[in-house]
Amino acid sequence: MVKMSLDAVQVMSGQVKELKVSPSSNGDARGSWEGKEEFDPSQLELTAKPKPVTGRRARKVEGAVFFPKPENAVTVAVSSRVLFRTEREQKVFEQKGVEEYLRYQIEHENEPFAPGPAFPFVKALEAVNTRLRELYPQSEELFDIVLVTYNHAHVGIRLINTINHHNLFIERFCMTGGSSPIGYLKAWQTNLYLSADAEKVREALAEGIAAATMFMTEKLTEVSQSQLRVAFDGDAVLFSDESERIFKTHGLDKFFEHEKENEDRLLDHGPLKGFLEALGKLQKKFYAKGQRLDCPIRTYLVTARSAASSGIRALKTLRAWGLEIDEALFLAGAPKGPMLEKIRPHIYFDDQMFHVEGAAEMGTVAAHVPYGIAQKYNSQQKMSSGK
């Protein structure tokens, strides 16, 4: 079984190397995937010293093209602890305190951090931006990435060096010096917040900000760099937890009965509905240029719902919202991991840790959305198992 750090501080040993690019732009595991072994970061030594940053990448800035206003952009706020591997530094902080931690960061500021679980996702966002700028040179409707960190400003030099080393385009930082970033997320009009801190993710969700907790895993499968793939669970992620409450409290038969009786009544929105909406808005810009079949954004619904028994309500809700989902997989309770391994998404969102762990076992980067009735059952399971 693949180990995954549920406390994002307690990450697995090993560094993640930069993922290879697959020329494939569909969900198939053929062509360039044939004969390739999955990359296992645990094969690399964590103690290996990274190469120092030797220079800074020059950037050409052309006004609003590169710095869109928050109200026009799709803003993705990413914690430094999920964009990069910072577990060694976290141990220094926990064992020796903040002053020694800051001293360590300054002493190593020319050594770039290794990529973390959100790194391939961010690279894919930037690849979409490149396509958008080709089609709409003056448009501000782009992904805008904000690096969010609890770090002191002294650590900013190392973060900047790391961003330049990995050739990322991230110009907006939010270094809070230990304070909560939630207020800043609202000011940025954030569409999605990814963090290793589950408590801060819950705070963001309570403020109406789409958010999810990310984890380190022992292995990551290769993902496409030419097409951003985002997969969503349905209930308590895109939709409210109304139907899931029926299932948890009254069982499967009552759930099917409830869905049949209410198939023409729309489900209420869930915490990630707005992010799917934002993705759809950017997709339509490619469709308008005749690039529907070559769109660099692809979305997936991967749900435990049954198609005939309870799928129609979900599909009717998405259609009524004006949202297109490129692929919909109704698994009727089957494990999600094998399907996600086939899709190879850059990120998968689910409200249940059971499914997040199952996806991680197959090498998928999965993010937990701590929302809805399932969180009550997750807590009860932890208490009963002594965790």
> In whole angstroms, how far apart are CA 356 and each of 3, 123, 124, 254, 345?
12, 22, 21, 26, 13
**Three-state SS at 368:** strand
Tokens coding 134: 């080709």
- Residue 292, pLDDT above cutoff 90: yes
CA distance 104 to 112: 13
* Same-domain check for residues 253 and 292: yes
What's the mean pLDDT in 37-50? 39
Domain-embedded: residue 334: yes
Cβ-in-10-Å burial (0-12, 13-18, 19+) of 191 comes to buried
| pTM for the whole structure | 0.81
Q: At what angle do helices 156-165 and 98-107 cross, to 10 degrees?
A: 40
Q: Which residue has the tokens 């099917």?
A: 256
Residue 37 pLDDT grade (very low, low, confident, very high; cuts 50, 70, 90): very low
What pLDDT is stored for residue 251 in this prediction?
A: 72
* Same-domain check for residues 175 and 264: no
What pLDDT is stored for residue 154 in this prediction?
A: 86
CATH of the domain at 160: 3.40.50.1000
- Residue 141, pLDDT above cutoff 90: yes
What pLDDT is stored for residue 249 in this prediction?
A: 76
- Residue 50, pLDDT above cutoff 60: no
What's the mean pLDDT in 181-191? 94
Q: What is the mean pLDDT of the chain?
A: 82
- Residue 331, pLDDT above cutoff 80: yes
Q: What is the pLDDT of residues 194-218, one digit of tens each?
A: 999 999 999 999 999 999 999 987 7
Q: Residue 366's CB: how many other CB atoms inside 10 A?
A: 30
Final residue in a domain of this structure, among 214, 240, 265: 214
DSSP 78-128: EEHHHHEE-HHHHHHHHHH-HHHHHHHHHHTTTSPPEE-TTHHHHHHHHHH
With pLDDT > 90 as the criterion, what percentage of the chain qualifies? 61
Which residues, in sequence order, are bridge partners of residue 174?
A: 148
Q: What is the pLDDT of residues 244-282, one digit of tens each?
A: 787 777 777 777 887 788 888 899 999 999 999 999 999
What pLDDT is stored for residue 43 in this prediction?
A: 39
Tokens coding 269: 């929105």
* Same-domain check for residues 183 and 232: no
What pLDDT is stored for residue 32 in this prediction?
A: 30
* Same-domain check for residues 234 and 360: yes
* Same-domain check for residues 120 and 182: yes
What pLDDT is stored for residue 219 in this prediction?
A: 77
Domain-embedded: residue 375: yes
What's the mean pLDDT in 369-378? 82
* Same-domain check for residues 233 and 368: yes
Tokens coding 369: 């959305």
Final residue in a domain of this structure, among 214, 243, 271: 214
The parent domain of residue 350 ranges over 228-385
* Same-domain check for residues 234 and 119: no
**Which of the residue ranges 66-70, 114-118, 382-386 has the most confident prediction, judged by mean pLDDT?**
114-118
What's the mean pLDDT in 80-92? 93
Q: Residue 374's CB: how many other CB atoms inside 10 A?
A: 24
* Same-domain check for residues 147 and 194: yes
Q: How many distinct structural domains can be found in the chain?
A: 2
Q: Hey, which residues are catalytic here? A: 233
CA distance 162 to 156: 10
* Same-domain check for residues 237 and 354: yes
